[in-house]
Amino acid sequence: MKKILLIATGGTIASREDGYGLSPTLTGEELAQSVPEIAGLCEIDVVQPMNIDSTNMSPQDWMCIRDVIAHNYPSYHGFVILHGTDTMAYTAAALSYLVQNSPKPIVLTGSQQPMGHPFTDAKLNLYQSLLWALDDAARDVSIVFGGLVIAGTRARKQRTMSFNAFTSVNFPPLAVIRTDRIIYGAPQHACSRTQPSIQKGVQTNAALMDAEPRFHDVLDGGVCTLRLTPGLTPAIFDLLRPNLSAIILETFGIGGVPDAQSSSPSFESAIFDWVDSGRTLVMTTQVPEEGMDLGVYRVGRTYAEHPGILKGGDMTTEALVAKTLWVLAQTKDPKQIRELFYTPINFDRLD
């Protein structure tokens, strides 16, 4: 029988009402005992590195979860992480870069309602997460939620209350789970050159079981996301300069940046000064689906060929934040930053 390590971190799934609002109090053992149907699936051990609302999840907590996985990696066939939904997509993306090329599945799940709620989604999500973690096609980091299996770099929380809270952005779900039946997806994209096809998951997973995952143990802290809004002035770059080494810039539409010359400095000079000073700038779009293309409009083409500007393509902002944190921790050399950034990892890029 396979062995799964259940890593409990808190979140709504572990929460109770205490008169001041929901807060996580249930332990991982209590959560597992609440779903007796999982007892016959596999051997389950439980660890509890933290019990927090995921709003408070930090990069240091990501490293703690990574350390639990690394320490226990030889002893288990897979890992299921119980996590709050609000920052689950960030954690899944971060773990995709901290634990790369894992032949063993690392699955995140949680719920929109606490385990003790009479109409909770927690029980089915936990059950289906274990089903996926035990499946021969499963590998690398993913989220299982609301019947979908989503690559760890492609998830986004789309709804605040509905049980189908997460969507797979610009990439098909890896699988759909209907009660206890797994229906595999079959993505055939450019990143399949470095990532196994789910359609061939059984054969590929067996071949990779002897492979060693690549664990990384450091992230850079000086990264933030900046969303353009009408009226925002380029002076914001000067305010951010003392404390940050990288900005994820969410542009308008397919890649538009205001080019009005009324402000001094202009966005063009502020952005070029930022990257020419040795800092990193990643351009993406604030529109959730279909990605960006800086070459379409005049208001974006200025930035299309500058070697210091990285293009987010159709990646999620969550993945861009996590990947930039990881890349800048590996190197400060602009050429190597660019090479690492454009290397596909866990289906994060299609180009």
Residue 138 CB burial class (10 angstroms; 0-12, 13-18, ≥19): buried
pTM of the model as a whole = 0.91
Q: What's 82's domain CATH number?
A: 3.40.50.1170
pLDDT in tens, 206-257: 444 446 899 999 999 899 999 999 999 999 999 999 999 999 999 999 999 9
User: Which parts of the chain sit beneath pLDDT 50?
Assistant: 188-210
Q: What is the pLDDT of residue 263?
A: 60
> Does a structural domain hold residue 347?
no
- If we measure between CA atoms, which residue out of 280, 283, 224, 275 comes closest to residue 251? 283
Residues with catalytic roles: 12, 85
Q: What is the pLDDT of residue 188?
A: 41
CB 258, CB 267: distance < 8 Å: yes
> Does a structural domain hold residue 300?
yes
Domain span at residue 238 reads 223-341
Pair (84, 194) in one structural domain: yes
**Residues 6+ positions from 69 with CB-CB distance below 8 Å:** 5, 7, 79, 95, 99, 106
CA 100 → CA 17, 96, 106, 208, 215, distances in Å?
38, 6, 11, 13, 6
Q: Which residues pair with 181 in a beta bridge?
A: 178
Pair (184, 330) in one structural domain: no
Pair (197, 258) in one structural domain: no
290 in the Ramachandran plot: left (φ > 0), alpha (ψ -120 to 50) or beta? left
CA 4 → CA 67, 129, 220, distances in Å?
16, 11, 31
Pair (153, 83) in one structural domain: yes
Q: What's 332's domain CATH number?
A: 3.40.50.40
Pair (127, 257) in one structural domain: no
Pair (180, 53) in one structural domain: yes
Q: Helix or strand or coil: residue 26?
A: coil
Pair (101, 205) in one structural domain: yes
C-alpha 268/C-alpha 73 separation (Å) is: 47
> Does a structural domain hold residue 350?
no
b/e per residue 103-125 (b: at least 16 CB within 10 A): bbbbbbbbbbbbbebeebbbbbb
Q: What is the pLDDT of residue 351?
A: 59
Count: domains in the chain: 2
C-alpha 117/C-alpha 106 separation (Å) is: 27
Pair (164, 234) in one structural domain: no
Where a domain ends, among 167, 188, 215?
215
Bond before 36 cis per omega within 30 degrees: no
Q: What token pair was written down for 112? A: 């929109």
Q: What is the pLDDT of residue 241?
A: 93
> Does a structural domain hold residue 346?
no
CB 292, CB 285: distance < 8 Å: yes
Where a domain ends, among 183, 198, 215?
215
Q: What is the pLDDT of residue 205?
A: 40
pLDDT in tens, 60-100: 999 999 999 999 999 999 999 999 999 999 999 999 999 99
C-alpha 278/C-alpha 274 separation (Å) is: 7
C-alpha 225/C-alpha 321 separation (Å) is: 7
Residue 282 CB burial class (10 angstroms; 0-12, 13-18, ≥19): buried
Pair (257, 204) in one structural domain: no
> Does a structural domain hold residue 351?
no
Pair (233, 211) in one structural domain: no
Q: What is the pLDDT of residue 200?
A: 36
Backbone phi, psi, residue 223, to 5°: -125, 135
Pair (158, 251) in one structural domain: no
Pair (229, 211) in one structural domain: no
> Does a structural domain hold residue 349?
no
Where a domain ends, among 194, 215, 236?
215
Please compute, for residue 46, the number of CA atoms within 13 A of its CA located in the half-sphere on the CB side.
Answer: 16
Please compute, for residue 292, the number of CA atoms within 13 A of its CA located in the half-sphere on the CB side.
Answer: 30
